[in-house]
Amino acid sequence: MTVRRSSDHTRAAILHAARDRFAAQGYERTTIRAVAADAEIDPSMVMRYFGSKERLFDAALAVDLRLPDLAALPAAELPSALVRHFVARWEGEPGDDALLVLLRSAVTNDRAAARMRDVFATQVAPALAAALGPERAARVAGLVSAQLLGLALTRYLLRLPAVTSLTPDELVTGLAPALAATVSAP
């Protein structure tokens, strides 16, 4: 007996399979057929829902960082809150690996790099501006992003033992002072 999937369930299965493939193989080596096989559907269904590999890739790169209201935090808590949020975001939702796909793909794919820039311009920079003011945030947003992306690169993609062995609390304790120095720099 064939189990019939709902439209939302099918779309979610395709996106999950696509993110896994794009994360493991990158854009160039991922095929619609492989994504469909992983999602246990016919390749025509991938095309029905997404139209093309490019549009599937765009959907797989959709990232909502769900940043907290940084303006509500005391300034001294901002660095720890940022590190804690990003670690929780990366580690708290194993089914949502869009950030991993985006980070891995942004290095070699112009479309993904543009999406990464867009995520930080439309999500991180405004959140920092709300907490620090627009002028100060403009000076530090790139450096804060570099530190957080460096953490993601070394912990989740390169899997450097010195970083992967740390607990989330140790990451916050170790990285928050660097972010604090960046945020408070003249």
Give pLDDT, residue 4: 56
* 87 inside domain: yes
Cβ contact 148:83 at 8 Å = yes
Which residues of the chain are modeled with pLDDT < 70?
Answer: 1-5, 93-96
Give pLDDT, residue 167: 96
Give pLDDT, residue 1: 46
* 2 inside domain: no
Check whether residue 104 and residue 177 sit in a common domain.
Answer: yes
Check whether residue 76 and residue 94 sit in a common domain.
Answer: yes
Number of domains the chain is built from: 2
* 99 inside domain: yes
DSSP string, 48-117: HHHSSHHHHHHHHT--------GGGS-GGGHHHHHHHHHHHHHHS-TT--HHHHHHHHHTT-HHHHHHHH
Give pLDDT, residue 46: 95
Check whether residue 78 and residue 135 sit in a common domain.
Answer: yes
Can you read off the two tokens belonging to residue 158? 């390169």
Give pLDDT, residue 182: 93
Give pLDDT, residue 61: 85
Tell me which residue range forms the domain holding 135. 70-184
Cβ contact 111:54 at 8 Å = yes
Check whether residue 50 and residue 81 sit in a common domain.
Answer: no
Give pLDDT, residue 93: 63
* 1 inside domain: no
Check whether residue 34 and residue 88 sit in a common domain.
Answer: no
- 30: CATH: 1.10.10.60
